[in-house]
Chains A and B, each alone.
Chain A
Amino acid sequence: MNSQPTPIDDTVPAGEPWMGVVKAGQTLRIVDLEGNQAVDTLFYNAADTTEHYSAQNTIQAQRRIYLTTGTVLLSNRGRPMLRIAEDTCGRHDTLGGACSSESNTVRYALEKRHMHSCRDSFLLALARHDRGMTKRDLPSNINFFMNVPVTPTGGLRFADGISAAGRHVDLLALMDTLVLISNCPQLNNPCNAYNPTPILVRTLGVTSRESA
């Protein structure tokens, strides 16, 4: 056969970034191993990272703010990047963005600046992988497994989670996609019961164990 895409099968502890490439046609599964863990995620065209997931293009096209089965994740150029093929959680957030040490000072207390945050994880991953990407390349992300409802009167709530241990979301790549994840280290927010937990990131189908 032609070159098989490299399978992915990684457990990502809380507070760690993860970066990898999913080839067009591969399906990436993200598993919320212990429940209500925020998985802050960005997608880039692996061949040109100035094309990236766009929350605005995506919610405009489906005229709906939540992501679930059937949602096509669109890029900032309006092109389909991935499709949510299966979702046992039911709803994922794309408005709440990623925590940062600076936003923690605003949201919680000025003294919280030193605590670990998703945007620090994103920046560390970008530096480690040295593709020329910087903070400029961090648009608004997806929070898989997070429930951030907008109320009819225009409020925004961080509601109790609707995920649970073992729930997963499957993403079929429609282009070769660079995936950037921060497995959220937030300790100040009840949405994860103040307890960040590990996730599993794996490609479906051909894996090192299942293939001959």
Chain B
Amino acid sequence: MLRATDPTTHLWDEELPGGSHWSSILRRGVVLRLTALADDANVAALFYSREQPLERYNMADTLKAQHTAHLTTGCVCYSDMGRILCSVIGDTCGWHDPLCGLTDADAITAKYGATRFQEQRNSRYVSGREAMLVELGKYGLGPRDLVANVNFFSKVVVDDDGAMRLATGHAKAGQHVDLRFEMDTIVLLHAGPHPLASGPAYVPAGVRLDAYRAPPMAADDPCRTRCPENARGFINTERLHAGLAESA
């Protein structure tokens, strides 16, 4: 569907080093491709409506609407307002974790040791929670806005007793996931270790970002046709944009 080098649809690219955090506004109709630059990548992600950031990614609504505990092609990320922030329109990894949340500073120190900028410069260890709080602050948002996130490229399996296990060897270098934005969205990313990663080495993979202009939505769009719930989610989202010009 999307060819990585097509100059007619490719908008920009950027590389996030392992351990770094990033945010931007992704416009409706843009596809963001995340490409793992090494094995065992993990990219924590959060999504907020650009128009009203109180409308934000909602883990529970995303899971319930689609009867899933993992994200892959065909899944969408719901806001708490019954609308779709972004859709997973392509995925060569196969499973992304929406359950486990972020690392915090205590967990990072306990697992990998204490670091400071004074000694380690930009290779110091930053927790997922602090990375997200820094990026949230750039939009006037803070701890009250920090909700459950998606962990792209990580697979967490739950057994019959509810025990969670992080699958080893899941993400491979070069795999990608394509997110098509259905609303103007504040996107926060952190290329840091998954909270269930065992350590002991802190070697988070980098991730490459490529932005594309989304192709027109086909009648058999895998996200819209995945389930009747998603068809209704797209209707809710279209109503948000009703009356606006179709393309910018």
Q: How large is the interface on A (under 10, 10 to 19, 20 to 34, 35 or more residues)?
A: 35 or more
As a 0/1 sequence over residues 41 to 80 of chain A, the CB contacts with chain B under 8 angstroms (1 = contact) are 0000000001000111101100111100000000011100
Instruction: Mark out the residues of chain A between 143 and 170 whose CB falls within 8 Å of any chain B CB in the assembled complex.
Output: 149-152, 154-158
Do A150 and B158 contact each other (CB < 8 Å), given the known contacts A96-B64, A156-B63? yes
Beta-carbon contact of A150 and B233 below 8 Å: no
Q: Contact between A150 and B162 (Cβ–Cβ < 8 Å)?
A: yes
Option from A59, A100, A155 in Cβ contact (under 8 Å) with B80: A100
Q: Indicate if the CB atoms of A76 and B143 lie closer than 8 Å.
A: yes
> Does any Cβ of A come within 8 Å of B210's Cβ?
no
Q: How far is the CA of A139 from the CA of B102 in the complex (A)?
A: 14
Total A-B Cβ pairs within 8 A: 136
State which residues 74-98 of A face B: CB under 8 Å: 76-78, 91, 95-98
Selected from B58, B148, B157, B236, the residue in CB contact (under 8 A) with A55 is B148
A127 contacts the other chain (CB 8 A): no
B67-75, B112-120, B179-187, B201-209: which lies at the interface: B67-75
Residue numbers in B under 8 Å from A76 (CB-CB): 143, 146
How far, in whole Å, are A150 and B148 apart by their CA atoms in the complex?
Answer: 17
Tell me the residues in window 28-82 of chain B with beta carbons closer than 8 Å to chain A beta carbons: 54, 58-61, 63-70, 78, 80-82
B101, B145, B160, most chain A CB atoms within 10 A = B101
Q: How many residues of B contact A (CB 8 A)?
A: 48
A102 to chain B, nearest CB (A): 3
| Contact string against B for A residues 92-123, beta-carbon threshold 8 Å, 1 for contact and 0 otherwise | 00011110101111110110000000010000
Answer whether A59 and B99 are a contact pair too, CB < 8 Å, given A97-B60, A106-B78: yes
Q: Are B63 and A106 in contact (CB under 8 A)?
A: no
Q: Is A129 positioned at the interface, with any CB of B under 8 Å from its CB?
A: no
* A209: Cβ under 8 A from any B Cβ: no
Task: Enumerate chain A residues within 8 angstroms of B102, measured Cβ to Cβ.
Answer: 56
Q: Are B99 and A95 in contact (CB under 8 A)?
A: yes
Q: Does A195 contact B (CB under 8 A)?
A: no
Closest beta carbon of chain A to B86's beta carbon, Å: 15
Is the C-beta of B95 less than 8 angstroms from some C-beta in chain A? yes
Known: A102-B82, A107-B65. Contact between A152 and B159, CB under 8 A? yes
B195 in contact (CB, < 8 A): yes
Interface residue? B25 (CB, 8 A):
no
Is A131 in the interface zone, CB < 8 Å from B? Answer: no
- Asked whether A9 is an interface residue with its Cβ less than 8 Å from the other chain, the reply is no
Do A97 and B82 contact each other (CB < 8 Å), given the known contacts A59-B164, A106-B232, A110-B232?
A: no
Report the minimum CB–CB distance from A186 to chain B (whole Å): 11
Residues A95 and B59 in contact, CB atoms below 8 Å apart: yes
Name A's B-contacting residues (CB within 8 A). 50, 54-57, 59-60, 63-66, 76-78, 91, 95-98, 100, 102-107, 109-110, 119, 134-137, 139-140, 149-152, 154-158
Closest CB pairs A-B (n = 10) = A97-B60, A56-B101, A102-B82, A154-B70, A66-B162, A150-B158, A136-B144, A150-B69, A65-B162, A64-B162
